[in-house]
Amino acid sequence: MSQKSGPPPIVYILIFLALLGGGYWLFFTGSVVTIPPLPSNTTQPNNEANNTNNQSFPLPNSVPSGTTIRIDGSTSMVTINQNFKRGFEAKFIGTKVEALANGTSKGIADVLAGKVDLAGASRPLTAQEKSQGLTAVPITTDKIAVVIGKDNSFTKGLTSSQVADIFQGKITDWSQVGGKSGSIRVINRPEISGTHQSFREMVLKGATFGTGTNFTNLSQDATTPLLQALKTDGVGYATFSQVTNQQTVRVVAIDGLTPDAASYPYQRQLYYVYKNPASSGVQAFLGYAASPQGQQNLAVGN
* CA dist., res. 9 & res. 12, Å (int): 5
Question: In terms of domains, do 158 and 247 share one?
Answer: yes
**pLDDT, mean of residues 59-82:** 95
| Residue 107 located in a structural domain | yes
133-151 mean pLDDT: 96
What pLDDT score does 7 carry? 55
Residue 10 is predicted with a pLDDT of 55
**163 and 82 assigned to the same domain:** no
- pLDDT-derived band at 46, boundaries 50, 70, 90: very low
Show the domain range for 228: 143-267
Residue 152 predicted with pLDDT over 80: yes
Q: What is the pLDDT of residues 185-202, one digit of tens each?
A: 999 999 989 999 999 999
Instruction: Say if residue 16's pLDDT is above 70.
Output: no
d(CA 229, CA 188): 10
Helix crossing, 292-301 with 280-290: angle to 10°?
70
Residues 148 and 257 both lie in one domain: yes
d(CA 223, CA 228): 9
CATH of residue 258's domain is: 3.40.190.10
Q: What is the pLDDT of residue 300?
A: 55
Are 250 and 170 found together in one domain? yes
Whether 187 and 218 have beta carbons less than 8 Å apart is answered as: yes
Q: How many domains does the chain have?
A: 2
Give the pLDDT mean for 56-85.
95
| Residues 67 and 166 both lie in one domain | no
Residue 89 and residue 195 share a domain: no
Tell me: do 192 and 225 sit in the same domain.
yes
Residue 250 lies in a domain: yes
* Strands, E assignment, the chain: 68-73, 96-99, 118-121, 134-149, 185-188, 215-217, 234-239, 249-251, 267-275
Q: Are residues 112 and 254 in the same domain?
A: no
More confident position, 38 or 138: 138
| Mean pLDDT of the residues in the chain | 85
288 and 259 in a common domain: no
Residues 194 and 259 in one domain: yes
CA distance 53 to 117: 16
Summarised one tens digit per residue, pLDDT across range 233-287 is 999 999 998 898 899 999 999 999 999 999 999 999 999 999 999 999 999 999 9
Question: Do both 175 and 262 map to the same domain?
Answer: yes
Q: Is pLDDT above 80 for 221?
A: yes
Share of the chain above pLDDT 90, in %: 75
HEC per residue, 106-171: HHHHHHHCCCCCEEEECCCCCHHHHHCCEEEEEEEEEEEEEEEECCCCCCCCECHHHHHHHHCCCC
Q: Are 57 and 289 in contact (CB under 8 A)?
A: no
- Those residues whose C-beta lies under 8 Å from the C-beta of residue 180, and which sit 6 or more positions away, are 153, 154, 174
**Radius of gyration from C-alpha coordinates of the chain:** 29
The pTM (predicted TM-score) of the whole model is: 0.72
